Amino acid sequence: MLREVWPFVDAHRRGGRPVVLARLVDRDGPGARPPGAAMAVAADGTWCGSISGGCVEGAVLEAAREVLAGGLGRMLSLIPGDELLPWEAGPACAGELRVLITPAPSDPVHTAITTALEQDTDLTIRVELRPPYSWSAATDSGALTASGPAHTEAVTRRRTLVLAGATDLAALVATFAESLQFRVVIVDPRPAHLESGAFRHSARLIRGWPGEWLTANPLRRYDALIAVSHDPRIDDGALRAALAGEASFVAALGSRATHAQRIRRLTGTVGLERLTGPVGLDLGGITLAETALSIVGELVAAGNGRAGGPLRGGTRPIHCRRIASA
């Protein structure tokens, strides 16, 4: 979960402002955030992240500001709704939360985390759960030792989402996907499309045929390919290459009629039964943003083994354990 708040931590460190980190290290009941959830609080009063979705953040902020003022790191035991009067309704997620509040790690741990996130490499981070709450980090988890109980987090390479076709829709899908910690690659043989200026600087733009690029750069098991060019010359080669590999989500944009034609063209393709199309959840959207939301919604649902239906009609836990992206 450090990935969610680390840009904030790093920016304040570069600006010379101290930062305190709060980490949810244990919970004995249901809750909106999983163990490992993080908040970062800076000396200028700004903060980001969440421990419980809103139930205990006030108490965490107060304790973090005390640490920023020179106090020692500490372990808090918090119960959502504990400050309410007896007749006031409390939240359903009332289990006890154990929250560790410490200054953000200094070098070399800070640099190791920043480098791993920037270069998209694996790193194991450990903070001890007893004073002085020491931090350590290593690319090899076996190299880390702790004298007592510790909270450990593995920062792994992000899942890759390849978009075949540099379109306005691809730009919106990329924006959504990057906020979900996907590494986005957009591949298109048309230079004018790649140079439109619509794409975020963090997306990787590749001029070439997506099928050829995917053959040379096979996707991993938890990666994804979505064909959005609406041009069979571009999309079909990308789909053939992705379906022949390990990618867990391979999908294509288009109407039902367009997809039926696509299936006929791809008859005999290895893995064709894994192709998702038309891609997207049934939101009834019309605008590009609504279409992008629909597509990314199905991408997330598929990654979590869900169908994407309304929560009110479901019986399964609302939150699921994140599938590792090894």
Mean per-residue pLDDT over the chain, rounded: 89
User: What pLDDT, on a 0 to 100 scale, did the predictor assign at position 80?
Assistant: 66
Q: Quick one: CA dihedral 113, 117, 120, 122, positive or negative? A: positive
Mind listing the pLDDT tens digit for each residue in 102-141?
999 999 999 999 999 999 999 999 999 999 999 999 998 7
Mind listing the pLDDT tens digit for each residue in 54-90?
778 889 999 999 999 988 899 998 876 555 444 344 4
Q: Tell me the C-alpha distance between 197 and 183, whole Å.
A: 19
182 and 189 Cβ atoms separated by less than 8 Å:
no
Residues of the chain with pLDDT > 70, as a percent, come to 92
Q: What HEC string does the chain produce?
A: CHHHHHHHHHHHHHCCCCEEEEEEEEECCCCCCCCCCEEEEECCCCEEECCCCCCCHHHHHHHHHHHHCCCCCEEEEECCCCCCCCCCCCCCCCCCEEEEEEECCCCCHHHHHHHHHHHCCCEEEEEECCCCCCEEEECCHHHCCCCCCEEEEEECCCCEEEEECCCHHHHHHHHHHHHCCCEEEEEECCHHHHCCCCCCCCCEEEECCHHHHHHHCCCCCCCEEEECCCCHHHHHHHHHHHHCCCCCEEEECCCHHHHHHHHHHCCCCCCHHHEECCCCCCCCCCCHHHHHHHHHHHHHHHHCCCCCCCHHHCCCCCCCCCCCCC
* Structural domain boundaries in the chain: 2-155, 160-311
User: What pLDDT, on a 0 to 100 scale, did the predictor assign at position 89?
Assistant: 44
The β-bridge relationship of strands 123-128 and 150-155 is antiparallel
- Has this prediction a pTM greater than 0.75? yes
160-311 has which CATH code? 3.40.50.720
Mind listing the pLDDT tens digit for each residue in 269-309?
999 999 999 999 999 999 999 999 999 999 999 999 988 88
